[in-house]
Amino acid sequence: MKTEQTFEEHLRKGNLSENTITSYLWTINYFHEHYDKISKDNLLAYKGYLMEFFKPKTVNLRIQGINKYLEYLGKEKLQLKAVKVQQKNFLENVISNADYKFLKTQLKKDGNMEWYFVVWYLAATGARVSELIQIKIEHVEIGYFDLYTKGGKLRRLYIPKMLRNETLEWLNEANRTSGYLFLNRYGDKITPRGISQQLKNYADKYGLDKKVVYPHSFRHRYAKNFLEKFNDIALLADLMGHESIETTRIYLRRTASEQQALVDKIVTW
């Protein structure tokens, strides 16, 4: 008989991430605890509960888990439809150029050079935090870092000349010639979590809004700045490693605060 335990084994064979497996299993457990049997009515009731208490993205993740379970049980006919995720017509929680420059300046002034460069690399290369931690001194020397995306496509992450030159000066002073660029206090490669936490600490220290000081915010800043200077969305999609140009289109939109400022300036009637 197919059970939740064997479903877990089935998921593990599918090479899914630990987070996905945990999420799917939580979903199934919750369903069985609150509904007496698998029926269309119960599944729709569960979907209704999810829609009332969770964001569409989370609802769809739970629905994926349920559908995977139904497929495993051979009950595909009962599978649920995903809910529509309404895309906002503005970008939220993106660090402004002024705050980005202020943060960089303060870090350098206080001698926090490693974090000065962490912030600069995030905003000047468009790197995801998982990519940033892979950059080595050897990549800085040649000026780029080659990455392979999920589909096996090559993406080149370029390190701009100005950033490259200043990094090499810093490394020279620190007498470092090889290995990962960003290290933690134990001399090991820094972790994404370590970066996120430390950025929040600096936001606190310098009186910045913590909602806009997180790694991906600087990637958004990179994209916005790039399009303002050089309006080539296809090139930006390649540089950012987007599978579809549609993903990149959001950067043509203004942030909520930019929209507010424009409305305040324009609407005077």
State pLDDT tens for residues 156-211: 999 999 999 999 999 999 999 999 999 988 888 999 889 999 999 999 999 999 88
Where along the chain do its domains lie?
Answer: 4-78, 97-266
Confidence class for position 149, pLDDT limits 50, 70, 90? low
CA distance 27 to 20: 11
Q: Read off the tokens for 119.
A: 């912030």
- Cβ-contact 129, 216 below 8 angstroms: yes
- Cβ-contact 258, 225 below 8 angstroms: no
Residue type, 23: S
CA distance 91 to 248: 12
Whether the model pTM is above 0.85? no
CATH label, 97-266, candidates 1.20.120.530, 1.10.443.10, 3.90.550.10, 3.40.50.620: 1.10.443.10
State pLDDT tens for residues 212-231: 999 999 999 999 999 989 88
State pLDDT tens for residues 20-51: 888 899 999 989 988 888 999 889 888 888 88
Q: What angle do CA 54, 59, 63 make, to 5 degrees?
A: 150
CATH topology of domain 4-78: DNA polymerase; domain 1 (1.10.150)
CA distance 103 to 108: 9
